[in-house]
Amino acid sequence: MCRWFAYLSPTEPSILEDTLITPANSLAHQVHDHYLPQLIPHNPNDLHDADHLLTARNSLYNIDGLGVAWYTTSYADFEQGNTGQSSDGQQIEGLWPAVYKTVQPPLNDLNFRSLCQNTETRCCLAHIRAASGTPIAIVNNHPFLFGRHAFMHNGVVAKFTAIKRALCQELSEAAFGAINGGTDSEHLAALYMTYLTSGGDVSAFSKTYTVREMEAAMHRTVATVVTTQKRLLGSKAAPNSLNLCATDGTKLIAYRFRNHATQQPPSLYYSTKAGTTLNRKYPDHPDGIDVPGRFEGKDVEEHGQHLIVASEPSTYKAEDWELIGKNRCVLADPGAGGVGGVFEVRDVVYEAGWDAEDPTAV
C-alpha cells in the first residue's frame, strides 16, 4: 500500500520542507519506515491481532513514485491580476494546484528537495506509491488533478480489471478524457469528479463545491465500486481498502474505508495540533530535539487553524494525533459558516450487504 499526507489551513502557510522532509517520520522517510500508534506496535513481531494481514496493508516499502500538489494563487494573480487576460478564455480565481511527480526516491531527488525548501502553501497533498500491478511511471503517481481539484488514494480496488469497463461507463466524457494513467486510483478520482460535477464538462473542474457535495460524491464513488463488484462478481467480490482524500485547496474530505466485517483499512490519522511542531517559525521540533537557530520566535497561540490528515504521524507527540476509525470520514471547510467553519469526524454511510470476504486480499 501507499502513504499520504494532507495539510489544510485557511491562514497559516507551511513550508513543504518542514512537513515532508524534516521529520524523522516524514512522508519522504516512509518509503522504508513506519510509525503507527494505536494500530500496530513499532515492532510488527509484537502484533497480536486476529487481522493478520494488517501489516500488509501498511507496507514498509513505498518506493514506486512520489507526487506532491500544492495550492497557490499565482495562476489567478497573473490571469486576473493586472492583465485582465486569460490563456484559455477562462478567468481563474483563487487557489490552484501545482504538481511535481517523480519516480526517484524522494530524499535522493534534488529537484524535490529544492522545491520543498522554497515552497510554502496553505494546502498540499503528498503521496508515495507502492505499485499494485500498474507500471511505475509518473502518470501513475498521485495526486491526480482535475482542474482545481486534487485526489489521492491509499489501498486497492479489489479485482479492478474485472470491473474497470463498467466503472468507465459511469464516467463523464470530461472525467474519462482527463485520465492519463492506468491505476485504479485515477479511475476512482475520475468517478469522484463525475459525481461532484454532476457529469459536467471540463469547465466544471474549475468550480468549487460545498464540503457536503464533496462528501456525497465520495460516498457515491465508494458505493459504485462496491455495488458494481457485487453485481458483476457476486460471491467472488473481495473487500476493498479505500483511504481516499480530495481537496479544492480550501476544503477537504478524507475516507478510511474497508468493506470487511473485521479487517482494518490501512492506517489514517488526523491532527489539529501538529502543524505548529511542523513549522520552524514556532517552538519545538517534530523529533523533539533542539536545533539552534531553527525557532523564529512565534508563539504557538499565533498559529492559525489547521488540519493534517496522514497515513502516519510525523511528529514525536503521539497525543497530537487521532487514529481515524474504520469506515469513518473527516470533513473540513474552515471558511464555511463564519468562525469555526465545518470540521467533523463521523461514520460513513455503510450499506447492508457490503461486507466481502477474501482471506488473501490486502
pLDDT along the chain (362 residues), means of 10: 91 96 88 59 50 53 80 81 57 87 90 96 90 76 96 95 98 98 96 98 96 98 98 95 97 97 94 95 88 77 93 93 97 73 94 84 47
Q: Cα separation of 128 and 130, whole Å?
A: 7
Helical pair 160-170 and 211-233, crossing angle rounded to 10 deg:
130
Measured between its terminal Cα atoms, the distance across the chain in Å is 8
Q: Cα separation of 4 and 126, whole Å?
A: 6
**H helices, E strands: number in the chain:** 8, 15
Q: Cα separation of 61 and 51, whole Å?
A: 20
Q: Give the pLDDT score at 58.
A: 53
Q: Give the pLDDT score at 336.
A: 62
329's enclosing H/E stretch is strand 328-333
Q: Cα separation of 353 and 244, whole Å?
A: 21
Q: Give the pLDDT score at 65.
A: 82
Pairing relation of β-strands 322-323 and 328-333?
Answer: unpaired
211-240 per-position pLDDT tens digit: 999 999 999 999 999 999 999 999 999 999
Q: Cα separation of 157 and 230, whole Å?
A: 13
Residue type, 55: T
Q: Cα separation of 263 and 81, whole Å?
A: 52
Q: Cα separation of 242 and 361, whole Å?
A: 13
Distances (CA, A) of 286 to 13, 22, 23, 24, 315: 17, 8, 5, 8, 4
What number of residues does the chain have? 362
Q: Give the pLDDT score at 42.
A: 47
Whose grid coordinates read 469555526? 340
Domains of the chain plus CATH, in order, are: 3-354 (3.60.20.10)
In DSSP notation, 199-229 reads T--GGGGGS---HHHHHHHHHHHHHHHHHHH
pTM confidence score: 0.89
Q: Give the pLDDT score at 360.
A: 58
Angle at 327 between CA 317 and CA 178, to 5 degrees: 95
* Residue pair 237/25 in contact by the 8 Å Cβ criterion: no
* Residue pair 185/130 in contact by the 8 Å Cβ criterion: no
Q: Cα separation of 141 and 102, whole Å?
A: 8
Q: Work out the widest C-alpha separation in the chain, in whole angstroms.
A: 63
Q: Give the pLDDT score at 248.
A: 97
**Closest by Cα among 103, 222, 236 to 155:** 222
